[in-house]
């Protein structure tokens, strides 16, 4: 069973915590990670890009010149796609890019992401993360104590407004609840910081 040091907010070791082997010590499947990241990125697309066809552009109802006798190519509308300001052929239209992979695939990819983060020494577990009031300098001090460089993902057991407001002004810091943990946020972060309660929640929610 994998274990990791349990730290306090000062960055001091206060104990050790055992992690669920199925979640934090599984085989890293790069193919699954790729598939789930593609799904998450596609699901973030708005799909609002839109262009007009020749039938949707205003004007162009009159034939620009007669069919024969001018020496010029024949045309029926100034809104033809070959004209400047004309319609767009096969252009994008509003569409829904969302799709959903099976639950087992998404869960296996999450196991792979967490296991990879642990093996890369990118996982830090805190005994607690509690702030009496929103203070950006408290989260900045925490990151300094933990020697975090780069992007950090703070995971709390449940929604914590004080932690969220304290970290949202720091570039590269994101705060989420354990139930919202996903592959994309894990892979984008350089350090995954979870509270002890958040680890328990992840093991409870995502254990088959």
Angle between helices 30-43 and 103-119 (to 10 degrees): 110
Write out 158-178 in H/E/C secondary structure. CCCHHHHHHHCCCCCEEEEEH
State residue 201's pLDDT score: 94
Q: Are residues 105 and 136 in the same domain?
A: yes
What integer best gives the mean pLDDT of the chain? 93
Q: Are residues 55 and 144 in the same domain?
A: no
Residue 77 neighbours by CB under 8 Å, 6+ apart: 54, 60, 61, 63, 64, 83, 86
Q: Are residues 23 and 78 in the same domain?
A: no
Q: Are residues 123 and 189 in the same domain?
A: yes
pTM, rounded to two decimals: 0.84
With cut-offs at 50, 70 and 90, classify the pLDDT of residue 130.
confident
Q: What is the average pLDDT across 119-144?
A: 92
Q: Encoding tokens for residue 26?
A: 């599984």
State pLDDT tens for residues 77-120.
999 999 999 999 999 999 999 999 999 999 999 999 999 999 99
CA-CA distance, 24 to 116, in Å (whole number)? 8
The DSSP symbol for 180 reads G
Q: Domains in the chain: how many in total?
A: 2
Beta strands in 60-184 (DSSP E): 123-126, 152-156, 173-177
Q: Are residues 66 and 117 in the same domain?
A: no
Last-in-domain residue among 91, 120, 151: 91
Q: Note down the domain range covering 123.
A: 3-46+100-206
Q: Are residues 75 and 118 in the same domain?
A: no
The strand order across the sheet containing 13-18 reads 13-18, 3-7, 123-126, 191-195, 152-156, 173-177
Q: Are residues 72 and 36 in the same domain?
A: no
Q: Are residues 11 and 56 in the same domain?
A: no
Last-in-domain residue among 30, 62, 91: 91
Q: Is the pLDDT of residue 144 over 90?
A: yes
Whichever domain contains 182, its CATH number is 3.40.1370.10
Q: Are residues 139 and 200 in the same domain?
A: yes
Q: Are residues 79 and 146 in the same domain?
A: no
Q: Are residues 25 and 60 in the same domain?
A: no
Q: Are residues 156 and 79 in the same domain?
A: no
């Amino acid at each position: 069973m994998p274990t990791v040091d349990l730290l306090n907010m000062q960055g001091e070791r206060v104990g050790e915590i055992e992690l669920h082997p199925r979640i934090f010590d599984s085989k890293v499947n790069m193919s699954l990670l790729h598939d789930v990241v593609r799904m998450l990125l596609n699901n973030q697309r708005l799909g609002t890009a839109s262009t007009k066809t020749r039938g949707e552009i205003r004007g162009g109802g009159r034939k620009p010149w007669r069919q024969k006798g001018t020496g010029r190519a024949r045309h029926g509308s100034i809104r033809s796609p070959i004209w400047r300001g004309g319609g767009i052929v096969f252009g994008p239209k509003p569409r829904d890019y969302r799709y959903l992979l099976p639950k087992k695939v998404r869960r296996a990819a999450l196991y792979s992401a967490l296991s990879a983060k642990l093996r890369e020494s990118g996982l830090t577990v805190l005994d607690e993360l509690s702030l009496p009031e929103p203070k950006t300098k408290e989260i900045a001090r925490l990151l300094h104590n933990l020697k975090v460089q780069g992007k950090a993902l703070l995971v709390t057991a449940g929604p914590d407004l004080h932690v969220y407001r304290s970290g949202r002004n720091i570039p590269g810091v994101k705060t989420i609840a354990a139930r919202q943990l996903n592959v994309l946020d894990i892979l984008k972060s350089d350090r995954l910081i979870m509270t002890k309660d958040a680890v328990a929640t992840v093991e409870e929610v995502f254990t088959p």
